[in-house]
Structure 1
Amino acid sequence: MRRVRYEATGGPLFLEEVPVPEPAPGEVLVHCAAVGVTLPTVRKVTEAAEPVPLGGEIAGEVVAAGAGVTRFRPGDRVTGLCFGHGYADFAVLREEMASPVPEGADEVTAVALVRAGLVALGALDAARLTPGESVLVTAAASGVGHLAVQLARARGAGRVVGAVSAPDKTEFVRSLGADDCVRYGDDGWADPVDCVLDAVGGDLLAPALAALAPHGRLVAYSSGGGTIRAYDLLVGAKSVIGFQMALIARGRPELYERWRRELWRLYVEGAVRPAVHGEFALADAARAHEAITTRANLGKVVLRP
């Protein structure tokens, strides 16, 4: 089978031929029809001290199941987060990280919707959003962000603001249902909001915190790091909450499943629609990464083995 790999920090990415992996106990082997490209994986190529497997969201058909697997069997269509080599024709997936793809949905939709949508829903839950409150979503045109804008509206937000890096993204974000769209460099960003969902981190943490109204909540789910001052929390009685999906999937599978059902229900009802920026062949994985690093993507970037 084909697999994308790199040998040194910074790349380049290349295709190699390797044997099809065997699923270990608790794993399923998936024939990949779609692979989602994520910012954390892109960052690993440029930042990790040594080469790591290129994992990510995958969707496809189960072709084999390891010992102890009870929820899936060959022929089932699944999607989930692969921590091993996911940029490949075949990949292994832990059973607890997998969820079924319902009839009527294709694999590209599943990859664009499920993992990113679960992160967005989880961040909204972590923010304790109540109907009528206002929400600011950073990276609002990204794979997670564009779903967070729609899900905030579906959850009853009174005002939804998207924050983006470039003006050519504002029309896209407004088309998702955002009431307003601001750029990171704008002075004062927007009127104060009750919640901020931050997928950027780094230097953006301070202005994101400043955008909160008193008693506001900032949910940080970025791999970009960053530092804020405790005093800036104190003066406005503000809160910062960290969110990581892997902890939910492993430690609270019932909540993970509830979010998954809600996500597909909202999709069927038309309340949320995943946008796909582009579909790239495995051999074009470097171009897919470039769409992320240059912040050119509007929605999800997908590989199609």
Structure 2
Amino acid sequence: MRRIRYTSRGGPLFLEQVPAPEPGPGELLVRTEAVGVTLPVVRKVTESPDPVPLGGEIAGEVVATGDGVREFRPGDRVTGLCFGHGYADLAPLHESMASPIPAGASAVDAVALVRSGLVALGALAAARPARGEAVLVTAAASGVGHLAVQLARARGAGRVVGAVSDPAKADFVRGLGADHVVTYGEANWGAPVDYALDGVGGDLLTPALAALTPGGRLVAYSSGGGTIQAYDLLAGAKTVTGFQMARLARERPELYESRRRELWQLFADGALRPVVHGPFALQDAEKAHEAVASRSNLGKVVLLP
């Protein structure tokens, strides 16, 4: 089978032929039809001192199961988070990470919607939004951000502001339901908002916090780091909450499952429309990573093995 790998920090990524893996205990072997490319995986390639497997969101058909698998069988269509080699024709997926793809939805829909949607929905819930409040969504054209814009609108936001890296993305974000779009370099982001969902981190934390009304809430879910000055919180009685999907999945599995069902229902109702950037062929994984690293993507970056 084909697999994408790299051998030194920073890449390059290359295609290789390797034997098909066998599913281990509790694992499904999935014939991948779509693979979601995420910023954390892109950063691992450039930042990890040693090469790591290129994992992430996968979707496709179960072709074999390991010992102890109870919920799935060959022929089932599933999506989930692969911690092994996911950029491949066949990928291992632990049963605990797998969920079924509903009839009528494609594998591309699944990788664009489920994981990114769960992050967007979780960050939104962490902000405790009230109907009619104004929200700022940074990285509003990203795989998570473009869903957060739609979810905020579906949850009753009175005004949705999208922040993007490039003004060329403005029409795309407005098309998702944003009332106003700003770029990161602008000095004035308009009227203050009640809460903000930040998917960028770093130097953007300060202006995102400044965009809040007194008593406003900032939810940070990016892996981009960053520092906030305590005075900036105290002066406006503002709060910052960190959101991590892995903790929710581990500690609140019933809530995790409930939100996954909510996402699929919103998708079925037409209230949530995942957008795919590309898609890219498996052998073009390097180009897919470049799109994420440069933040040039509109929606979710997807590979098609």
- For this structure pair, what is the TM-score category when the shorter chain's length is used for normalisation? over 0.9
Counterparts of residues 48-127 of structure 1 (less than 5 Å): 48-127=48-127
Counterparts of residues 5-20 of structure 1 (less than 5 Å): 5-20=5-20
Could you tell me how far 1:67 is from its partner in structure 2?
2.1
Structure 1 SS opposite 2:117: helix
- Measure the CA separation in 2 of the matches of 1:250 and 1:61: 25
- Measure the CA separation in 2 of the matches of 1:92 and 1:237: 47
- Measure the CA separation in 1 of the matches of 2:19 and 2:119: 33
Runs of 4+ in structure 1 over 4 Å off: none
The percent of aligned pairs where both chains have the same amino acid is 75
- Measure the CA separation in 1 of the matches of 2:247 and 2:24: 21
Unpaired stretches in structure 2, ≥5 consecutive residues: none
Counterparts of residues 181-192 of structure 1 (less than 5 Å): 181-192=181-192
- Measure the CA separation in 1 of the matches of 2:301 and 2:216: 32
Could you tell me how far 1:94 is from its partner in structure 2?
1.8
- Measure the CA separation in 2 of the matches of 1:192 and 1:102: 40
**Which residue of structure 1 lines up, in the alignment, with residue 241 of structure 2?**
241
Q: TM-score, normalised by structure 2?
A: 0.98
Could you tell me how far 1:26 is from its partner in structure 2?
2.1
Unpaired stretches in structure 1, ≥5 consecutive residues: none
Could you tell me how far 1:68 is from its partner in structure 2?
2.2
Could you tell me how far 1:266 is from its partner in structure 2?
0.5
Instruction: Please state if 1:270 is matched with 2:235.
Output: no
Q: TM-score, normalised by structure 1?
A: 0.98
Instruction: Please state if 1:213 is matched with 2:174.
Output: no
**Which residue of structure 1 lines up, in the alignment, with residue 261 of structure 2?**
261
**How many pairs align?**
305
What does the per-residue CA deviation read over 1:150-177, in whole Å, with 9 as the maximum and x for residues that have no partner? 0000011111110000110000000000
- Of 281-290 and 187-196, deviating more is 187-196
Contact between 1:97 and 1:249, CA under 8 Å: does it hold in 2? no
In the alignment, residue 239 of structure 1 is paired with which amino acid? T
In the alignment, residue 301 of structure 1 is paired with which amino acid? V
What does the per-residue CA deviation read over 1:93-113, in whole Å, with 9 as the maximum and x for residues that have no partner? 122221110000010111111
**Which residue of structure 2 lines up, in the alignment, with residue 4 of structure 1?**
4
**Which residue of structure 2 lines up, in the alignment, with residue 177 of structure 1?**
177
Contact between 1:37 and 1:302, CA under 8 Å: does it hold in 2? yes
- Measure the CA separation in 1 of the matches of 2:236 and 2:161: 20
**Which residue of structure 1 lines up, in the alignment, with residue 250 of structure 2?**
250
Query: What's the Cα RMSD here?
Result: 1.0
In the alignment, residue 92 of structure 2 is paired with which amino acid? V
Could you tell me how far 1:302 is from its partner in structure 2?
0.7
